[in-house]
Every structure is written in C-alpha cells, then in structure tokens.
Amino acid sequence: MSERPYVIDEMISAKTIAARIEELCVSIRDEFHDTDQLVVVGLLRGSFVFIADLVRELDLPVEVDFLEASSYGNSMESSREVRILKDLRGRVEGRDVLIVEDIVDTGHTLKHVTGLLGSRNPGRLRTIALLDKPSRRETDVTADWIGFSIPDEFVVGYGIDFAQRNRNLPYIGKVRFAD
Ligand code: IMP
C-alpha cells in the first residue's frame, strides 16, 4: 500500500492546532484545577507530538506515562481486536487520569483502553482526542475533549503516520493517491 505514490494535502495547519490546544487546555485546567497530580497517558505512537504540546500548555502538576495498543500495522484498515503491546509503568489507582489519543476512528482502541484503566479504580478518568472521525464509529465511545472533528479521510502528520512515515510533519494532512 505504502508503495503507491501519494501526495499530502494540508488539512489543519500547525498554527490552527496550537490555537486549539490553548482552548482545550483552558477547559482541562478547569476540570482538574484541584488535582494533586494528573497522570497524562499518551497512546503510542500517534499521540507523542500532541501530548508534548498538551502538557506544556496545561500548567498543572502532571505525570506522563504511555501505553501502546495494537493499531493498523502497515495497512489503512482498522482492526476490531485491540491488544495491549505496552502497559503503563505507573499505577493509576485513586489518581486522576487523562487518556490522550491521536484519532478516534472506529473507537475500539479508546473504548478498550478506557475500560482497562477504568478497571484499575482511578480517580477522575477523562479522555482527549486530537481528531475525531464520527462517521467511522463502531462503538459508543466519545472523547471528553476533541480537537477537531474531521470527515472520513486518511490523515498523517503531527505524530500520525502512514506506514510509519510522515509523523514529523508539523501539520495534519490528508493522504491523496496520485493515481
Ligand atoms: P480506532 O480503534 O479505530 O478508533 O483506531 C484508532 C487508531 O487508528 C488511532 O490511534 C490511529 O493510530 C489509527 N488511525 C485511525 N485513523 C487514522 C488515520 O487517518 N491515519 C493514521 N492512523 C489512523
């Protein structure tokens, strides 16, 4: 699939993303203003750029941890079966947790991870996704905060890949095959 030539059309600029993160952080700070320490859980690997910008804008006492769930592999199709490839290093029992996802597509990943961390008896458990593709949803999950709702397009950049490429683009672009 990745051998097919494609171009990337900018969909959301770096400036627009930064402005939206500022807005989101006002609301997140409001929700967690009284937290002792917020455990910000990034879902690897797609959320690594988002979580970096998010925690620097948050201005709350945070701990950062990561969890890796199985994703698309090298294909553009989502899979219903979610497996945990790397679990958290720290404990979340009794602690406030914010799960950070890059894209909610079918919703299977976020639903699975929310269920898993929810079963560990955290304090407040909230979710944020940079992007949401509501038309693709196969589950009843919705993130508490959403950066941008987008149509059913395959996107890359700002941490998000296509066959491990394009994560380092500073903007979100949509993949368009040349032929
Ligand atoms: P879900 O379980 O179907 O919601 O899939 C979520 C995961 O699929 C995201 O965390 C991404 O890793 C991946 N994904 C969904 N849409 C895209 C896309 O447009 N580009 C790249 N990865 C995507």
What is the reported pTM?
0.94
Give yes or no for residue 78 having a pLDDT over 90: no
- Dump pLDDT digits (tens) for 46-62: 999 999 999 999 999 99
Position in ligand 1 atom list of the atom nearest CA 109 = 2
- Segment 5-32 shows an average pLDDT of 98
Number of domains, the chain: 1
Domain assignment of residue 51, given as a range: 6-177
Is residue 119 included in any domain, yes or no?
A: yes
How many whole angstroms from 123 Cα to the centroid of ligand 1?
Answer: 27
Q: Which residues' Cβ are closer than 6 Å to ligand 1? A: 46, 71-72, 78, 101-110, 154-155, 160
The contacts of residue 55 (CB under 8 Å, 6+ apart) are: 40, 62, 64
Is residue 177 helix, strand or coil?
Answer: strand
Mean pLDDT for the chain? Answer: 94
Full 3-state SS string of 102-132: EEECCCHHHHHHHHHHHCCCCCCEEEEEEEE
- Segment 131-156 shows an average pLDDT of 97
Is residue 84 included in any domain, yes or no?
A: yes
Give yes or no for residue 73 having a pLDDT over 70: no
Is residue 1 included in any domain, yes or no?
A: no
| DSSP β-bridge partners for residue 36 | none
- Dump pLDDT digits (tens) for 79-107: 678 999 999 999 999 999 999 999 999 99
pLDDT of residue 81: 82
CATH number for the domain harbouring residue 96: 3.40.50.2020
Is residue 163 included in any domain, yes or no?
A: yes
Is residue 94 included in any domain, yes or no?
A: yes
Q: Which of 103, 112, 114, 130, when mutated, tests ligand 1's pocket best, judged by the most ligand atoms within 8 Å of its CB?
A: 103
Residue nearest to atom 11 of ligand 1 (CA): 103
Alpha carbons within 13 angstroms on the beta-carbon side of residue 147 total 26
Is residue 39 included in any domain, yes or no?
A: yes
Measured in degrees and rounded to the nearest 5, phi and psi for residue 20 equal -70, -35
pLDDT of residue 92: 98
How many whole angstroms from 32 Cα to the centroid of ligand 1?
Answer: 27
pLDDT of residue 129: 98
Active site residues: 105
Please report, to the nearest 10 degrees, the dihedral formed by the alpha carbons of residues 174, 160, 143, 88 taken in order. 170
Task: Read off the pLDDT band of 1 (50, 70, 90).
Answer: low
Q: Are 96 and 123 in contact (CB under 8 A)?
A: yes
